[in-house]
Structure formats: C-alpha cells, structure tokens
Structure 1
Amino acid sequence: MCVIATAEKGSMPTIDQLTRMSETNPDGAGIAWHDDTGLHRVRNADNGKTLTFITKHWNELKATPCLIHFRLATHGAVNTENTHPFRYTLGNDEHGYIAHNGIAQKHTNGRYASDSRNAILAWQTGQTDLTDGTQGKFAKIDQNGRIQWLTPPQTIEGAEDKPIQVSNTRWREPAAITWDEWENAYDDAYMEGWNDGYEAAINDMLNDGIDTTTGIRRR
C-alpha cells in the first residue's frame, strides 16, 4: 500500500497520524525537507528511527516544506536502498527527492528489484509519464523546496487543523490490516523488533515533552 504525506510550511501531520501511517506501512520510512541551508533527507528501513528523528525535530520540520513516506514492501528487499524518498534529477535544471505509493505495474522488471525505482528511473530519463495515475501516485520536493504531486492527492487536516496532502487514507482505519494478516506476512521476531522501535520512538517523544496528539512541545 504505502503512504505519502506532504506538508507546506506551517503544517505537519500529527504524531498520531504519523504513527498510524507507520503501523500500516512498516517496511521503511523517510522524510525530505527544505530549510534555509538547503534540501535534506533522512530515511531508514527501521521506521522507529525515522519516527524518532521526526518527533525530536517536529517543530523545526513544521517550519519547512516536507515530503514523508512510509513503505509497505511489494517489490524489493526491506533495506535503506529501497526506502523512499528517492533522489531524482531532471535535466540540468531540477533535482530533489520523489516518493511513490502503489505498484508500478509497467516497471516491475528492470534494473532494480523495486518497481518504484524502475519507474522513477524511466520517468527522469523521459521514457515514461507518471502523471496518469496508472502506475500509482508520486510526489516530489525539489532543490528549492517546491512540493509537487504528479498525481492528485487527498487533502486532510493535520496538526492544529492545518491542511496536509496524502496519497491515501487507508491507514486511518484500524482494521485496514488485521493482526492475522500481520502474522502471515511477518514472523514474530520482526514484529517484536518493530514494536520495540515504535515504543522507543514514543518514549523519546514523551521525554522531549511533545504532545502525542498535536505534536506540540509542552512548555
């Protein structure tokens, strides 16, 4: 499934929204943002590490445009190389990071095991168009901090009722993926490791005085 979330300056998903996205898409998480010093990216196949980074820097990230992605692996191993967002370059004028939600059916075979990486490679070299929605949804942030969706997103309320854009809202439903499905897809050791990482991220957030519902640091 995966999920992409984008937020312009002054808006941000709540901590609860981020953890729900992560729970339903546990195979890697990344964030790209643009501040006064330029464009940056943090990504890790361990969602807990990315969540910890976001919660610790929530206020700083809220002041910047952000592109966030949580992965549910369909093609390619669970590792950093397959964790979104990916670097892209368009000619000599534009570069940045791009994320994908869905399955790029036309690109399941190619240089990479990841259909997302194959589709992005074909797109940036002018071999395919990703704007018709048939290969999933794509969003990017460029070197100037401009966020652009190649396919239309959904707009929902984030922290402080400010708008954010998401590729889907399936993560909002607790029953979207049942525990039985988790057990069939992942072994007990993986789930134990994920739960430990999730708990650590929440504990770090609470220790830093951040409200889990609003994402605002308590004074």
Structure 2
Amino acid sequence: MCVIVTAEKGSMPTIDQLTRMSEANPDGAGIAWHDGNGLHRVRDADNGKTLAFITEHWNELKATPCLIHFRLATHGAVSTENTHPFRYTLGNGEHGYIAHNGIAQKHTNGRYASDSRNAILAWQTGQAELTDGTQGKFAKIDQNGRIQWLTPSQTIEGSEGEPIQVSNTRWKEQDIWDEWRTEYEDAYIEGWNDGYEAAINDMLNDGIDTTTGIRRR
C-alpha cells in the first residue's frame, strides 16, 4: 500500500496520523524538507527512528515544506537503500526527492529489485511517464522546496486543522487495511522474497555494508 504525505509551510500531519500511517506501512519511513537554505532528507528502514526525528524537530519541520513516506515492501528488501523518498535529477537541471505509492507494474523487473526505484530511474531519464496513475502515485519536492504531485492526491486536515495532502487514507481504517492485505498478500510475500537477494547484491555492488546500511569509503 504505502502512503505519501506532503505538507506545505505551516502544516504537518498529527502524531496520531503519522503513527497510523507507520503501523499500516512498517517497512521504512523517510522525510525530505526544505529549510530555506537547502533540501534535506532523513530516512531509515526502522520507522521508529524517522518518527523520533520528526517529533524531535516538530517545530522546525512545521515551518518548512516537507514530503513524508511510509513504505510497505512489495518489491525489494526492507533496507534504508529502498526507503523513500529517493533522489532524482532531471535533464532541465531540476533535482530533489520523490516518493511512490503503489506497485509500478511495468517496472517490477529492472536494475533494482525495487519497482519504485526502477520507475523513477526510467522517468528521470525520459523513458517513462508517471502522471497517468497506472504505475501508482508520485509526489516530489525540488531543490527550491516546491512540492508537486505527479498524480492526484487527497486533501485532509492535519495538525491544528491545517490541510495536508495524502496519496490514500486506507491507513485510517483497519478494516480497509485488512481487506487490502488479503487482496495483495501473495504479491507482497512473493515480491519481497524475489527481491531480497537482488537487493543485497545491488547494495554490495554499490559498496554498501548490508549489515549497517552505510556506504563503504
């Protein structure tokens, strides 16, 4: 399932919303934000570490535009390397971070075990169009802090009633989550198992320690 949430300057999801999103999508969480001086990202395969960072820096993050993602690992291992949002660079010089919600069916096979990473790679090199919604939902934040949804989003109330945008609200209702899991559980398990070995090899090829997730110098 996954979930993307974006918040413009002055708004944030509530702690309860973030907790529900995390519980429904427990396989990695990340946040990218622009503090007026530059773009930053924190991500970890352990949702708790990202949530701790958000709560510790709540006021600072609320004063900035930000992009948050919680992952449900359908393709690719649970690892920081596969945790959204991902870095992107376009031919026009734009760069930033982008997050995906859904399964990119056309991109389940490719350079990466992660369909999300394959889809984003194809998009930034001009080989794929991600705006029609057939490959899931995508949102990005660029080097200037501009948030853009490539696909439609839903607007809901966040902290203090301020609006935030989300890719879905399935995380709000446990019954809907159970229904989704029943429908996609086989794909979830198969995708995770099939992608694990490839993801480990990919990390090794990139010089990343598979135990710590830290790139070797």
Give the TM-score of the pair, scaled to structure 1.
0.80
On the 8 A contact 2:75/2:195 being kept in 1, the answer is: no
Q: 1:215 to 1:22 in 2, by over 3 A?
A: farther
On the 8 A contact 2:8/2:66 being kept in 1, the answer is: yes
Deviation (angstroms), 1:91: 1.1
On the 8 A contact 2:75/2:191 being kept in 1, the answer is: no
Q: 1:112 to 1:159 in 2, by over 3 A?
A: same
Q: 1:76 to 1:195 in 2, by over 3 A?
A: closer
Deviation (angstroms), 1:123: 0.2
Q: 1:131 to 1:9 in 2, by over 3 A?
A: same
After superposition, what is the alpha-carbon deviation per residue over 1:126-184, rounded to whole angstroms, capped at 9, x for unaligned?
Answer: 001000000000000000000000001000000000000000000001xxxxx999999
Q: RMSD across aligned C-alpha pairs, in angstroms?
A: 10.5
Which residue is 1:28 aligned to?
Answer: 28
Which residue is 1:184 aligned to?
Answer: 182
Structure 2 distance, partners of 1:91, 1:7, is 26
Q: 1:202 to 1:128 in 2, by over 3 A?
A: closer
Structure 1 distance, partners of 2:94, 2:102, is 24
After superposition, what is the alpha-carbon deviation per residue over 1:74-106, rounded to whole angstroms, capped at 9, x for unaligned?
Answer: 000000010000000001420000000000000
Q: 1:188 to 1:115 in 2, by over 3 A?
A: closer
Q: 1:201 to 1:96 in 2, by over 3 A?
A: closer
Structure 2 distance, partners of 1:218, 1:80, is 15
Structure 1 distance, partners of 2:95, 2:16, is 31
On the 8 A contact 1:16/1:213 being kept in 2, the answer is: no
Deviation (angstroms), 1:37: 2.2
Q: Secondary structure at the match of 1:171?
A: helix
On the 8 A contact 2:27/2:78 being kept in 1, the answer is: yes
After superposition, what is the alpha-carbon deviation per residue over 1:163-211, rounded to whole angstroms, capped at 9, x for unaligned?
Answer: 00000000001xxxxx999999999999999999999999999999999
After superposition, what is the alpha-carbon deviation per residue over 1:46-99, rounded to whole angstroms, capped at 9, x for unaligned?
Answer: 000000000000111000000000000000000001000000000142000000
Deviates more, 1:157-166 or 1:194-203: 194-203
Percent identity of equivalent pairs: 90
Deviation (angstroms), 1:36: 2.3
| Structure 1 unaligned regions, length at least 5 | 174-178
On the 8 A contact 1:160/1:214 being kept in 2, the answer is: no
Which aligned segments of 4 or more residues in structure 1 are displaced greater than 3 angstroms?
179-219
